[in-house]
Structure 1
C-alpha cells in the first residue's frame, strides 16, 4: 500500500501454525504478525524495516489460549545508499545471506511449515552492521554478490538465537539460465554465547524451476570448535490438480552431542492465489528428537 507520492509503502504477512510433535502435546500459535515499511527517494536512498509480533496467541496440550508468550521482534531495519546496479551500501540489521531459505523465509513464500535444520542451526539468522551488495554481468548472465560485516548490537534489541559476534562474510549467486541459479556462501565468525571459538562456514545452494516444478538444495559445512559439522537438504515441489502441490524433502544434519540426524518431510500445499497458502506435512526421521521431532504440522499464511 503506497502513501501518496511520499515514497512510503506498507505491507506484511500473517501466519498461523499448528503442530502435533511426537512425543509431546499439540501446539498452536499465531506465529507472526509482520509489518513491512519501505521508503525510497527513487534515486539514491532506500529504507526498509520489518517489525513483527511473535507468538501473539498460543495454545497447546492442557494450556488454553494465551497471549503471555507474545513478544516484539525487530526482524530487519536498514537503509541502503544506492549508487548503481553494481554497488550499494547497506547499514543496519539484515538477514544473513547464507543460502536461499534464510533470505526468503517468510511463511507465505515457503512450501513447508517446518524449516530445514541446515538453514538456521549453524549460523545466526541475522547480522547487524554493514553490507556492500550489487550485481554485474558474467558471460551474458547475471552475478549477484554481497560482502558484509557484523559490527554492533546497538541496532538489535531483539537478539536472534546464537547471534554473531564480529562476523565477516560473503554471498554469491549466479544465474546459469533463466530457471537455474547456483550460489556460494562464506562466513567467518564467533557466536555470542561461545566467544572462545572462531568458526568458518561454507555453503552451496542451487535452485531449478520448470513450469510449476521446483528443485532446491542447500548444504553447509562449519569447522572450528570441537568438530566439523555438515548439514543440508534437498527439496522437490511438483504440481498436482488445480492449485495443489506435493512437496518432498530429505535432510541430513550433524549434531554436536548426538549422532547425525536424518529427516524425511512429505507435504501438501494449496495456493489458490499467490499471496495465500495452506500447508500440511508429516515429518519423520532418526536422531532428530531435539532439533526437529517427528510429527504432523500445518499452517496458513497470507502476504499483504
Structure 2
C-alpha cells in the first residue's frame, strides 16, 4: 500500500504502474532492462489454470473463434512467454519487435477436440515495425502492428488487462494484426487533443496465426480524445477484405470509451461489421469495470454480447473476478464466466492466471 507520507509525485508514479498501460507508452509492459544506449528489452510470462464447465460446445469451424483458452478439460497452461525489444537510435526513430511463445507447456498435455482447436504450441510474431516521428503531430509506422480498432486490441497483453478472458468482439470481428503502413499523432482541438491513427495494408501479413483469417487488404482509422482527464472515447472505421472468409469484404464501425475515478475504471466497446451488400453482419459489445477494494485487490466484472447475423450464432456471457497486483511486477487474476445463452467455442467456468512482467 502507499505510505501516507509519500510525496504526491511518488504516489502518482506508483498508481500509474498499477494501472494498465497503453500500447504507445512505450509499446511494452512498464518494466524492462536497458542493455545499451537506446536499446531496451522486456517481456512477460503467464501461466493459466482453466476449469471449464463440461457442457461448453466446440465450434464447427475453428477459425470462427480465435480463443486459445478454450478447452473441455481442466488444465494448467503456460499460455504466453513474450519477449519485446525496442531500439531508439535517434530521437525521431524507434524499432520494435515482439515474439510470443504461446501454449508452450500444458498439463495434462494433449490436443484435439477435448483441448480446443487452438491449444497447440505456436511461436507468434506479434509485432515488428519501425517508427519515424516526422513532426509533433505526425509519426509514420511501417511493419506488422496491432490493428487500431477499439482500445482492447492495442492494450491486450496480460500485464495490461484486468481479466484472463479476452472479450469476444476483440478477436472475432476483425484480424488482430495488420502488416502495412500507419500514420498517427495528436492534433490540437480547442483546449483538448484529438488522437488519430490511419492505416493501410495490401495483405501479405508476416507470419499470420494459423487459427485466424488475416487481412487480404485493409484501410481504416481511429479517432480518440479525452473529454476530461478521467474520460476518454474513440471511434473506429474500417473497410477490409478477410482471407478465406465467405463474402470476405466488410465495413466495420465501432465506438469505445473508458472512465476512471481514482483507481476504479469503467470501459466499453461496441462494434458492427457488415458486407457492402448487406449480408453476413456481425455485432457485439462489452461493458467492463474494475473496482479497488483493499490494498492491491480489485474486483472485476464484464457483461458481453456477440451475434453473427448470417446464421444466428450468438454469445452472451457474464464475468466476475478479482485481481491482485503485486509489488514486483506480478499479477494474479481469478474469475468465473457464466454463459447466459448457448455460446459455441467460448470457455465458461473458472479461469485464473499468474503473470510476471520482466
Shared fold by TM > 0.5? yes
Partner of 1:252: 305
- Does residue 22 (structure 1) correspond to residue 76 (structure 2)? The answer is no
Contact 1:80–1:88, Cα closer than 8 Å, also in 2? yes
Partner of 2:98: 50
More strand, by proportion: 1
In structure 2, C-alpha distance between the alignment counterparts of 1:190 and 1:91, rounded to whole Å: 20
Mapping 1:145-224, distance limit 5 Å = 145-153=196-204, 155-156=206-207, 158=209, 161-194=212-245, 196-224=247-275
Partner of 1:238: 291
Check 1:62–1:198 CA distance in 2 against 1; reply closer, same or farther (3 A cut): closer
Partner of 2:82: 34
Mapping 1:45-124, distance limit 5 Å = 45-60=93-108, 69-124=120-175
Question: Structure 2, unaligned stretches of length 5 or more?
Answer: 1-32, 55-71, 112-118
Contact 1:288–1:294, Cα closer than 8 Å, also in 2? no
Question: Structure 1, unaligned stretches of length 5 or more?
Answer: none
Check 1:127–1:154 CA distance in 2 against 1; reply closer, same or farther (3 A cut): closer
TM-fit CA distance, 1:57: 0.5
Partner of 1:2: 34
Number of equivalenced pairs: 299
TM-score, structure 2 as length reference:
0.79
Check 1:53–1:61 CA distance in 2 against 1; reply closer, same or farther (3 A cut): closer
Check 1:56–1:259 CA distance in 2 against 1; reply closer, same or farther (3 A cut): closer
- Does residue 227 (structure 1) correspond to residue 287 (structure 2)? The answer is no
In structure 2, C-alpha distance between the alignment counterparts of 1:21 and 1:258, rounded to whole Å: 24
- Does residue 287 (structure 1) correspond to residue 341 (structure 2)? The answer is yes
Helix, strand or coil: the match of 1:98?
A: coil
